[in-house]
Structure 1
Amino acid sequence: MTRIALAVAFLIAAMTGSASAQTEPSFAILGFEDLQGWEDDTHQAALETFRNTCDRLNDPDWDALCALAQEATDAKGFFELLFRPVMITEEGVDPLFTGYFEPELSGSPVPTARYRFPVYKMPPEARKIRPWLTRREIETSGVMSGRGLEIAWVDDAVELFFLQIQGSGRIRYPDGRMIRVGYAGANGHNYRSVGQEMVRRGIYNAHQVSAQVIANWVRRNPQAGQELLHHNNSYVFFREVSEIPADKGPIGAMSRSITPMRSIAVDPKFTPLGAPVWLEKGGATPINRLMIAQDTGSAIKGAQRADLFIGTGDEAGKIAGRMKDPGRMVVLMPIQRAYALLPDTIQ
């Protein structure tokens, strides 16, 4: 995805049909005292995440803030002195906060009896013909065979399917070595939700469907499960991303590693990439935390819509899969930018 793109948020949005028409946004400047839990956050962690991408903003206002960020010793004071919280809302559009993660799959550099499912590079013709073959045709026609397009082989077709939804992940080899793969392109077909299809077929009710529920059902019903996965015509190809150390997060939309529990995906129509964002997420596990907008995603649309990067691996996936919560987000804008959004305000 530009982001780890086609993330779990895309799966959730497609399952529930939650896309909504966008309206003209409204702006309101808040005080830091209006941010619930602001005093209790670890602002230094947010500042370090901000530093990771602020040099990519390529804008005079932000460039000055980035230079100051490199020297700042009081993180909380840095944000309070140089930013103003701006609440951006759309009439009739409810806030929604979800989570995404980086999968880690078991794999091998060569095919074996266990590692049978290839992770493919993008064939040249798929870039030229739009749309190209469907998922079913790619997996059953033999068109990919014998061409050296395999990056690795993994042991679970369902995990590979969800790797494609996430758009990037890590593959751990039996000897402990690990490679990271990232989104290289797709076959040009629209994503079709297998969760929504399960609801249509009467297998589950909408409130029961999650990524884990889908995975478990497909594994219990291998033939019908494969047919279900083929309902999604979209197919994602990968590239090896060797330049990212294993201890760093995957690459986000700003071409830098993102940080677990500090990076979010946003709609750049409303929230500038690289901007600090105060998140107040409700639900079973409330979060009040300063995040940095460092990613985007196909399902992340709207002023009060964000996808929180949870981390890597199964546990992160479980947390991300359960996250679908209300709340609010407040963008921290450079002072002059904040007041420029309110033309009638005396500056």
Structure 2
Amino acid sequence: MKRRASLSPLRALLAVATLGLLSACGTRPPSMTTPSGPPPAVRTCPPAQACPACPACPAAPAAAPPPAPAEPLQRIDWSELPGWREDDHAGAWPALRESCNAIAQQPRWQAMCEAARALGGTPPAASVRRFLEAHLEPWAVLNSDATRNGLITGYYEPLIKGSRTPSEHYPWPIHGIPHDMLTVDFGDLYPDLKNLRLRGRIVGNKVVPYWTRADIERMQDRAPAPTLLWAADPIDLFFLQVQGSGRVELPDGTKVRIGYADQNGHPYQSIGRWLVAQGELPIEKASMEGIKNWARANPQRLSELLNTNPSYVFFRELPARGGGPIGALGVPLTDERSVAVDPRTIPLGAPVYLSTTWPLSDRPLQRLMFAQDTGGAIKGAVRADFFWGFGPEAGVQAGRMRQQGQLWVLLPRSSRP
């Protein structure tokens, strides 16, 4: 449902490879600078086989090894989960059943999902808690520096105004996947790179980065992508792209659901952070509501604002049905019980216990969630995006949520991270 990886990981891999080759040749890349003061000593001894008469080169002093990163998961006891016994675990049961629809065939989850089906559709909260404690065990999620706190944000499924045809009132195209965009999934070639994708376009005999948001906006309906619908408001369309899915209300009142299809490969950049850096908004007002207010007060600078984020999301039209939008796990999200995570640490489909606070308050928000989505901005171990549901009220909560919190992933007793 949300944004995916960009071209930057590929560039990073190429940079690492280049640095390795340059270092092996005794050359310092021109982009690397050294601190002021005398230059560091350089080993100039040639290889022995190249100069048999040369004296042996003295061994270089061994560098101190870098500190090992902390293990991302640490086994704990149920009693260490804050507010665990007070949560209404029955409220998370529909999300558990949705997760099992996707992961029940995986060996580590098979036994738990079979037992969940046997328990029925609406077990009481106490039965759900006992079930979880019998089949699972909690693991604290840690950052690489062994700290436990991380950023918890929120997202939702918005409703915007739109039309099937362009007009003065509906001038902004909502694009599907471009015809000329090339997507290479590195995981198909190298399993270790399963989270990396390259998106670009072919110019002559070269692959170059795909068009940026500014390029696509400039082309409008001439862009090499189908136009699914036309939006009434560009800032509403921008935030629909940030959320990754939503509904479009047509002039006759019918609603069309659209979902994430792909992304142009450029990294997501926060327009709220840009407004703060420019001195246009104080940080406490850089919420979705505050950004929308600024945009409507400064229409002449709207393109400047939106194009600071080069990322662009393409959509697909989804069948009309009830329930939440489809997340990265492939199942409908459950209001206030689904969460987007970084799957490099937390496996998709897993139960996740969250301890944070309600938006703009110190009131505890501690509940059982399920990892059913991902996001381009959701990177790191202790990092999550809380799904609030559909509509304006959910949007208010999501737009205000930027809390600190902790995460625990619940894994089957028979498995290990």
The TM-score with structure 1 as length reference comes to 0.85
The answer on whether the counterparts of 2:94 and 2:334 sit within 8 Å (CA) in structure 1 is: no
Partner of 1:344: none
Partner of 1:71: 118
Distance 1:212 1:30, change over 3 A: same
- Higher RCO by CA contacts (8 Å cutoff, separation 6 or greater): 1
Equivalent residue for 2:3, pick from 2, 5, 11: 5
1:187 and 1:38 map into 2 onto residues whose CA distance is 41
Deviation at 1:106, TM superposition (A): 1.2
Distance 1:278 1:224, change over 3 A: same
Equivalent residue for 1:251, pick from 326, 345, 355: 326
Equivalent residue for 2:108, pick from 61, 70, 80: 61
1:277 aligns with 2:352: yes
| Pair member with larger Rg | 2
Deviation at 1:24, TM superposition (A): 3.1
Equivalent residue for 1:125, pick from 177, 180, 185: 180
SS of residue in 1 equivalent to 2:409 = strand
The answer on whether the counterparts of 1:100 and 1:307 sit within 8 Å (CA) in structure 2 is: yes
Counterparts of residues 28-43 of structure 1 (less than 5 Å) = 28-43=74-89
2:331 and 2:287 map into 1 onto residues whose CA distance is 29
Partner of 2:36: none
Amino acid at match of 1:336: S
Distance 1:160 1:82, change over 3 A: same
1:324 and 1:142 map into 2 onto residues whose CA distance is 33
1:261 and 1:174 map into 2 onto residues whose CA distance is 30
Moved more, 163-172 or 49-58: 49-58
Runs of 4+ in 1 over 6 A off after TM superposition: none
Deviation at 1:120, TM superposition (A): 1.2
Deviation at 1:114, TM superposition (A): 1.8
2:372 and 2:332 map into 1 onto residues whose CA distance is 9
The answer on whether the counterparts of 1:184 and 1:239 sit within 8 Å (CA) in structure 2 is: yes
Distance 1:150 1:64, change over 3 A: same
Deviation at 1:124, TM superposition (A): 0.6
Amino acid at match of 2:354: L
The answer on whether the counterparts of 2:177 and 2:225 sit within 8 Å (CA) in structure 1 is: no
2:284 and 2:404 map into 1 onto residues whose CA distance is 16
2:150 and 2:209 map into 1 onto residues whose CA distance is 34
Deviation at 1:191, TM superposition (A): 2.5
Deviation at 1:148, TM superposition (A): 8.2
The TM-score with structure 2 as length reference comes to 0.71
Amino acid at match of 2:309: N
Amino acid at match of 2:71: P
Amino acid at match of 1:330: W
Partner of 1:45: 91
Length, aligned pairs only: 319
Deviation at 1:92, TM superposition (A): 5.2
Moved more, 197-206 or 179-188: 197-206
SS of residue in 1 equivalent to 2:406 = strand
Distance 1:282 1:192, change over 3 A: closer
Partner of 2:302: 225
Distance 1:305 1:125, change over 3 A: same
The answer on whether the counterparts of 1:47 and 1:69 sit within 8 Å (CA) in structure 2 is: no
The answer on whether the counterparts of 1:218 and 1:226 sit within 8 Å (CA) in structure 2 is: no
Distance 1:323 1:45, change over 3 A: same
Partner of 2:372: 294
Distance 1:38 1:148, change over 3 A: closer
Equivalent residue for 2:138, pick from 80, 85, 99: 85
Partner of 1:137: 215
Q: Deviations over 1:53-97 (max 9, x none)?
A: 224223212011111111114322211111111112122543221
Structure 1 alignment gaps of length 5 or more: 7-21, 342-347
